Amino acid sequence: MDFQELKEKAKKQIAPYMQTLFLISLLYVVLVFLNRYLKITYKEYPSTFLGFEYTAKKSFNFGSFLFLPVLGLGNNVIYLNLTRGIAPKIKDFFLGFKDWWSIIKLHFVSQFFITCWMFLFIIPGFVKIYSYSMATYILAENKGMKACDAIGISRQMMTGHKMELFMLDLSLTGYTLLNIITLGIASIWIRPYLSAVRANFYTKLKARNYKIKSIPVYDN
């Protein structure tokens, strides 16, 4: 797959709509920041690091489980629409709440499988992350699809293409590092481009695979 073609196409797709995409990214960053406070601490214990004592906490962040995956699907819908020449709308960011339960099940099942593979060994866990990486795009085009079906189709699509996607991500490492250095603030500008590149990867991969149906994007 021609990575440069994907990147150039992504730049052209987002260029006319940067104001709207910027607002969507800003909204996402704000919600991610607020999500840090949506957690329940269930254990506290003393610990040390480099000779410094502090109170370590174990907590469960229910926002990351219940809300962020839903917003992630809305984000996918926006950028899948862009690949079809459909202008982004801020309201589309919340489309996932129309099928909230399907998205939560997909997130739970995929994370469960990935965690199980991680326990076996780190590398198989990362392989499964790439194997399941198209599942949310598939769900975005198939409202109400069963989680295992979306994962199964993603595995089928990614057979022979996991390293390809890894290399694409590797070519975008500079953007990831910039995001880390700026403590996530740069993602307001970076996220539209990276999301468009990934959506174009999915679209092109789906076009290659005759076994995957090409159907209309998530009903909005």
Residue 44 in any domain: the answer is: no
Residue 126 in any domain: the answer is: yes
Which residue, among 164, 180, 79, has the nearest Cα to 130 in the 3D structure? 164
Q: Are strands 52-61 and 39-49 parallel, antiparallel or unpaired?
A: antiparallel
Whether residue 139 contacts residue 73, with contact meaning beta carbons closer than 8 Å, is answered with yes
Domain range for 131 is 3-32+62-208
Q: How many domains, the chain?
A: 1
Residues 1-57 pLDDT 10s = 788 999 999 999 999 999 999 999 999 888 888 877 766 665 665 666 656 665 666
Residue 84 in any domain: the answer is: yes
Taking each helix axis from N to C end, the angle separating 147-158 and 100-120, rounded to the nearest 10 degrees, works out to 60
Residues 45-97 pLDDT 10s = 566 665 666 566 666 566 677 788 899 999 999 999 999 999 999 999 999 88
Residue 217 in any domain: the answer is: no
Residue 40 in any domain: the answer is: no
Residue 96 in any domain: the answer is: yes
The partner residues of 43 in beta bridges, in order of sequence, read 58
Q: What is the C-alpha separation between 121 and 195, in angstroms, rounded?
A: 29
